[in-house]
């Protein structure tokens, strides 16, 4: 009887240990650095952390003009052009109209607007289950895309870009 109890207890401990290790491996993190574009001095960092099926995005940007700025995920992880046009258009794998995140139709890349303070510093955070990091699902996977900060605000109406102005910072979403 003691052997059976010990065997069951050992089995339960192994199962719990395996489950704990699997959960800790589910977390993925990317830390990215923006390059200034369009003759600006814009700089900053962005992080994407995936945990338990949700991705949290956070960006800290400096060197902006005070006011409202848009940030979007674009089609390509190519920031080589001086104006970041090499990143292509907004990432839109589900072929929706451009719009405001979470309201009616919007691109998966339509993150939205954030405000730069009087010193030109701004932050934005978003958590979503509509993205993944390296999962291979073309409608969710952000790897291989570009992240662009714009000079102006997204109006959430103008197709296909939101009329948000020049691309002032770019980073590739890659490992």
Task: Check: CB of residue 82 under 8 Å from CB of residue 37.
Answer: yes
What is the rounded average pLDDT of the residues 53-63?
98
Which secondary structure element, helix H or strand E, spans residue 14, and what is its range?
Answer: helix 2-25
The answer to whether residue 3 scores a pLDDT higher than 60 is no
Task: Check: CB of residue 70 under 8 Å from CB of residue 150.
Answer: yes
Burial of 171 from C-beta contacts in 10 A (0-12 / 13-18 / 19+) = buried
Structural domains for the chain: 28-173 (2.60.40.200)
pLDDT confidence of residue 66: 98
pLDDT category of residue 17 using cuts at 50, 70 and 90: very low
> The whole model's pTM is what?
0.84
What is the rounded average pLDDT of the residues 53-79?
98
pLDDT confidence of residue 106: 94
The answer to whether residue 9 scores a pLDDT higher than 70 is no
Q: How far apart (Å, rounded) are the C-alpha atoms in residues 65 and 146?
A: 22
- The number of beta carbons lying within 10 Å of the beta carbon of residue 122 is 22
pLDDT confidence of residue 2: 47
């Amino acid at each position: 009887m003691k052997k059976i109890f010990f065997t069951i207890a050992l089995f339960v401990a192994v199962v719990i240990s395996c489950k704990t290790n699997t959960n800790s491996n589910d977390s993925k993190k990317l830390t990215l650095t923006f390059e200034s574009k369009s003759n600006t001095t814009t700089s900053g960092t962005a992080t994407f952390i995936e945990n338990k099926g949700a991705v949290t995005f956070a960006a800290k940007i400096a060197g902006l003009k005070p006011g409202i700025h848009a940030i979007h995920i674009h089609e390509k992880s190519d920031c080589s052009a001086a104006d970041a046009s090499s990143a292509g258009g907004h990432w839109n794998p589900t072929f929706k109209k451009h719009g405001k995140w979470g309201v009616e139709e919007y691109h998966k890349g339509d993150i939205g607007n954030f405000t730069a303070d009087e010193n030109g510093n701004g932050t934005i955070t978003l958590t979503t289950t509509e993205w993944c990091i390296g999962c291979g699902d073309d409608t969710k996977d952000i790897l291989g895309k570009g992240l662009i900060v714009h000079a102006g605000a997204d109006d959430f109406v103008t197709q296909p870009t939101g009329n948000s102005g020049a691309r002032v910072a770019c980073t590739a979403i890659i490992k």
